[in-house]
Structure 1
């Protein structure tokens, strides 16, 4: 449909109608099948004429074959003399239109079938698609205008759809097609809210959409991104674990590579300040205080006389902020505290005394079990918690396994006796 439009969501048909000052009947299919004349709304009762009208409206301005209409009304077993029966249903619809003052003859007999003529003012589906077309054609540098058009289109959506239409074919084939159009629009809305820097506002809508579509990977990615950008990193990772568990239980598969990369990016705290065209793009990290950022790049001044437990506390804090530090850092700090070194180094060798003062294996296992990272089983076996697997994958992806091959890696040092080199494939 052609014609100038404004950014408030009004279509050209609306503007023409307002100028003319007349009243026209409006049909709706993005909810219950209804017709309204501006004063009252009539909800059609379940009947064969209602199924016929719904089929014509869902394919407005196109010729719908008589064979298709017969299957819509009677299923796969049409009655004898089906053409005459279909014509009778059309006549009943036309009488209904006359009763409620529908102007003109919107149902046209065409060679091979029928056509219902409608515009954006007389049918909500036409207006819905016109608004979507205008939104998707907006330039990329106008996200707010695109968002406004999409929200105007989604305001027409009033589910559940066509529950007063008795047609298995329409509910099996046509209604899911409409739902796909809604999915594309609402996912684009969530992307634009994230692009415009409003993850907190988007959360209230993304969360119920994710719960209503638990196997939709894109909704899950958008929810993880919104949670992460509002500083709720742990909840973002928990959403990934929930989705991964659900996929494994119901389908026996893992999340796609894009969602796995998103999880790893959130785990590492990586930032991506660019646009987010899809839910699988890397999220932007929450802004960190300048002092905290500087402390990672510049040497810290020596602290006076730390107490024996200070290193262990610092390791726990590093683990909270950077899960890749993992249990190994906590164990090393505990060893330092136990040895009373306070994190000091040997000036002659440059080695930490804790490197040679390892905790006994049994004590390390006990602490990992106490921290909930391992679960003790029978016969001395242990089951690894999913969070420990995440830490291991992050450490492997950061190149821990390649330190022996890289001479300039910060952690390049010989492996201790009995230690096992970590490779990304083992994470």
Structure 2
């Protein structure tokens, strides 16, 4: 049996192919909370809070027991194999209930193991690292604990798992760049930026991927797009990492960002190689314009910092 919470909560019997799907938000919240806390006793009071929050029914204890009984029946739908005793997944304890996994697994734990393995491989074998990280991310079927309500157990775990997914994505694209796969990931990074427009790391990765593909002008436009979004939504300038990547792309100061490992140190950029790409002269004109624009923005940023420091000093106590 594998219990799945990387998406809608369900259980899958790999032996019989039976998929167990709880009906209703309360059943999903109950199974989700017990899977999150698998192997631990979860008190009845905490489960009542998880299912009903601030509006429990008058007979909350009985209502919880009814939901537990229904969940037990649901988990017993896949019959045991011949000669095997029935499996009791959900056990009652004096203080509450516990889901006993035994030799079963959860997709969340499987994801964490694969993600850790992928990160460990990043320095020694980035290609394999990227492949393992893709296997980890393929376990996701939607938002973690989708449809399981807003109880504390499920909502906190969903947030933690989502952050782990984002970190795994960042590791995947970093490994892909190390493996020389820049051309394969630009579209995926554009989609991620659309869904996570304030995540600076995705902008940085996309700039690096574009630059390695010989698309310097587009990489600089990505920086400007990120800056506008951050200033508009948060009132802040890009952080040091993103600004550093912009400077490296602008001045060709970071050879590691300019080409994947193992590629030749010199050679014509794709745009200059003929075909349908823009002419070299037009590209140089565009780059010069972008360079002047970025340098002007940098000067304006320094001026604003100086003005802020002067205002802060003028209003400081004793000034």
Please tell me the TM-score bracket, short chain as reference. Answer: 0.7 to 0.9
Structure-2 separation of matches of 1:181 and 1:120: 24
Counterpart for residue 339 of structure 1? none
Partner of 2:227: 244
Match of 1:128 in 2: 111
1:113-143 CA-partner distances (Å, limit 9, x unpaired): 3221226754222222222233344473233
Q: Return the structure number with greater relative CO, CA threshold 8 A, min gap 6.
A: 2
2 CA distance for matches of 1:288 and 1:391?
A: 27
What is the CA–CA distance in structure 2 between the aligned matches of 1:258 and 1:99, rounded to whole Å? 53
Tell me, in whole angstroms, the C-alpha distance in 1 between the residues paired with 2:267 and 2:138: 43
Listed as ranges, the gaps of 5+ residues in structure 1 are 1-24, 274-282, 293-315, 327-372, 374-385, 397-422
Secondary structure at the aligned position of 1:35 is classed as strand
Could you tell me which of 221, 246, 249 is aligned with 1:263?
A: 246
Could you say which residue in structure 1 is the equivalent of 2:273?
none
CA contact 1:33–1:54 (8 Å) conserved in 2: yes
Question: Does the alignment pair 1:320 with 2:245?
Answer: no
- Number of the residue aligned with 1:85: 63
1:35, CA displacement in angstroms?
Answer: 2.7
- 177, 192, 203: which one aligns with 1:209: 192
What's the counterpart of residue 292 of structure 2? 388
Q: TM-score, normalised to structure 1's length?
A: 0.58
Instruction: Name the structure 1 match of 2:135.
Output: 152
CA distance in 2, matches of 1:87, 1:216: 43
- The 5 Å alignment of 1:340-379 reads none
How big is each residue's C-alpha offset from its partner over 1:85-122, in whole Å with a ceiling of 9 and x where there is no partner? 32332222112222343741112334533221226754
Greater shift, 239-248 or 30-39, is seen at 30-39
Q: SS at the partner of 2:255?
A: coil
Q: Which residue, 279, 284, 306 being the options, matches 2:258?
A: 284
Deviation per residue, 1:203-239 (Å, 9 max, x gap): 2322211111011000110011101110111111111
- Counterpart of 1:187? 170
SS in 1 for 2:114: helix
Of the three residues 87, 104, 109, the one matched with 2:92 is 109
8 Å CA contact 1:202–1:226 kept in 2: the answer is: yes
| Alpha carbons 1:119, 1:127 under 8 Å: kept | no
CA deviation after TM superposition for structure 1 residue 288, in Å: 6.5
Residue of structure 1 in register with 2:6 after alignment: 30
**Contact in 2 for aligned 1:119/1:126 (Cα 8 Å):** no
Give the secondary-structure state (helix, strand or coil) at the position aligned to 1:61.
Answer: coil
What are the superposed Cα offsets for residues 5-34 of structure 1, whole Å, 9 maximum, x if unpaired?
A: xxxxxxxxxxxxxxxxxxxx3332112222
The farther-off stretch of 190-199 and 53-62 is 53-62
Larger Rg: 1
> Where does residue 140 of structure 1 map in the other structure?
123
CA distance in 1, matches of 2:190, 2:135: 21
Distance (whole Å) between structure 2 residues aligned to residue 267 and residue 176 of structure 1: 36
**Alignment CA distance shift 1:158-1:60 (3 Å):** same
Contact 2:117 2:132 in 1 (8 A): yes
Q: CA deviation at 1:270?
A: 1.8
Tell me the secondary structure at the aligned position of residue 258 of structure 2: coil
1:63 deviates by 3.1
Q: 1:98 aligns with which of 76, 82, 89?
A: 76
Separation of aligned partners in 2, 1:291 and 1:94: 66
Q: Which has the higher helix share?
A: 2
* Residue of structure 2 aligned with 1:52, choices 30, 54, 59: 30
- Tell me by how many angstroms 1:168 deviates: 4.9
8 Å CA contact retained: 2:119, 2:171: no
CA–CA separation in structure 1 for the residues paired with 2:52 and 2:294: 55
